[in-house]
Amino acid sequence: MNQLLPFLIPGRGARGYWVQITEGLETMFGWRDYPPDVAQQLGEALAAAPLLAADMTQAGRFNLQFQGEGPLKLLVTQIDAQLRLRGMAKHAPDAAGDFQALMKGGLLAAMIEPEGDGERYQAMVEVVGLALSEALQIYFGRSEQLQTLIRLSASEGKLAGLLVQRLPEGEGARSARAAGARSAAQPPALGGESGGEHVDPDHAAAGSGNVDNDNWEHVYTLMRTVTPDDLQKWSGEELLNRIFAEDEVRVFEPRPIELVCRCSDAQISAMLLGLGRDEVDSVLAEQGAVAINCEFCGRGYRYDPADVVALFAADAASGNDQATRH
Ligand SMILES: [Zn+2]
């Protein structure tokens, strides 16, 4: 199942998302023949995209793009506000190695493209760190000024990731206070030994800066223990309850993610109709069939002469005027 699970750790002034993608992988990775190490980085980038785009409220697209001079030339993931996700990579034929070998020295850009005429937003950083998760943490720290911890994992059958972010100063205290109010009516399930560690909401609300720092330090220490195997093995709630075993973790309604390219038969058909019958016939005459590959996912579309006849006949029957197409 593909899903994005939002959560809040009120007592620690932290919030985050967990992501899992198991559907659509064969298709998205199948159209292009990626070397395993390239597929690994692409998989991690695909897991990261929903985590990074989760707070996007306006209609539009979030792009995470890597460009490099090494064996990995280009890696792009795109996700929209409905969490429709796609990704691709361009690489040298013999591209192999870990994150550093493939991506070090390149540039990582995060881009928000709003629908319509909203303002584009772009932030770019040089790739540093030992893994994509580290590069993204550094990106967040620098360009967003938000303390963020990210863990990513990709295997052939599952992409998974976890992002935990420190709530802005003050907001953590408010959340803690709200959670405190709820806890009074409804004690958290994991009460037992957390007494000594538990933050007194009133204390946090009083604005002692050290409490906030200690809380984040605690989250940081726990997140360091999370391995790629943990991400592969556990469901979101299981994982969160294991990592933050002493804390109350509130999870919210999960959101579905669709791993799919935007290309389609309808889109390619429209393009051929836009070219016009003469143009398409001349390709048929030269090559026997019209073969088109999606520039993004690499998926192949093929129209033999009978398909072309049927396509234009259907279009004429539907009364569409080619001149209005583009
Ligand atoms: Zn495509």
Check whether residue 38 and residue 175 sit in a common domain: yes
Q: Which carries the bigger pLDDT value, residue 203 or residue 244? A: 244
Q: What is the CATH number of the domain that holds 312?
A: 3.90.1280.10
Token pair for 308: 């072309």
- How confident is the model over 205-215, as a mean pLDDT? 67
CA of 19 to the centre of ligand 1 (A): 23
Question: CA 24 to CA 19: how far, in whole Å?
Answer: 15
Element (H, E) at 293: strand 290-293
CA of 60 to the centre of ligand 1 (A): 18
Lowest mean pLDDT among 75-89, 132-146, 186-200, 242-256: 186-200
**What is the band of 209 on the pLDDT scale with cuts at 50, 70, 90?**
low
- How confident is the model over 5-13, as a mean pLDDT? 96
CA of 29 to the centre of ligand 1 (A): 11
- pLDDT of 320 reads 66
**What is the band of 189 on the pLDDT scale with cuts at 50, 70, 90?**
very low
- pLDDT of 195 reads 33
262: number of Cβ within 10 Å = 12
Q: What is the CATH number of the domain that holds 104?
A: 3.55.30.10
- How confident is the model over 11-39, as a mean pLDDT? 93
Domain end position, chosen among 259, 294, 316: 259
- pLDDT of 184 reads 33
Condensed to tens digits (0 to 9), the pLDDT of residues 233-264 reads: 999 999 999 999 999 999 999 999 999 998 88
Check whether residue 281 and residue 178 sit in a common domain: no
End-to-end CA distance of the chain: 37
Domain end position, chosen among 259, 285, 313: 259
Check whether residue 162 and residue 304 sit in a common domain: no
Note down the domain range covering 220: 3-259
CA of 263 to the centre of ligand 1 (A): 4
Check whether residue 28 and residue 152 sit in a common domain: yes
Check whether residue 234 and residue 185 sit in a common domain: yes
CA of 295 to the centre of ligand 1 (A): 7
Check whether residue 269 and residue 168 sit in a common domain: no
Domain end position, chosen among 228, 259, 290: 259
**DSSP per-residue string spanning 270-287:** HHHHHH-HHHHHHHHHHH
Check whether residue 77 and residue 135 sit in a common domain: yes
**What is the band of 304 on the pLDDT scale with cuts at 50, 70, 90?**
very high
- pLDDT of 187 reads 31
Lowest mean pLDDT among 102-116, 192-206, 284-298: 192-206
Check whether residue 225 and residue 315 sit in a common domain: no
Condensed to tens digits (0 to 9), the pLDDT of residues 101-145 reads: 999 889 999 888 888 777 777 888 889 889 999 999 988 777 667
CA of 207 to the centre of ligand 1 (A): 51
**What is the band of 201 on the pLDDT scale with cuts at 50, 70, 90?**
very low
Percent of the chain with pLDDT over 90: 63
Query: Domain total for the chain?
Result: 2
CA of 110 to the centre of ligand 1 (A): 21
CA of 296 to the centre of ligand 1 (A): 5
Check whether residue 159 and residue 44 sit in a common domain: yes
Check whether residue 182 and residue 274 sit in a common domain: no
Residues with CB under 5 A from ligand 1 (ion): 261, 263, 294, 296-297, 299
Check whether residue 255 and residue 283 sit in a common domain: no
- Spatial CA neighbour of 222 closest among 239, 235, 206: 239
Q: How does DSSP classify residue 215? A: H
Check whether residue 168 and residue 85 sit in a common domain: yes
- pLDDT of 326 reads 47
- pLDDT of 95 reads 96
CA of 27 to the centre of ligand 1 (A): 10
CA of 136 to the centre of ligand 1 (A): 26
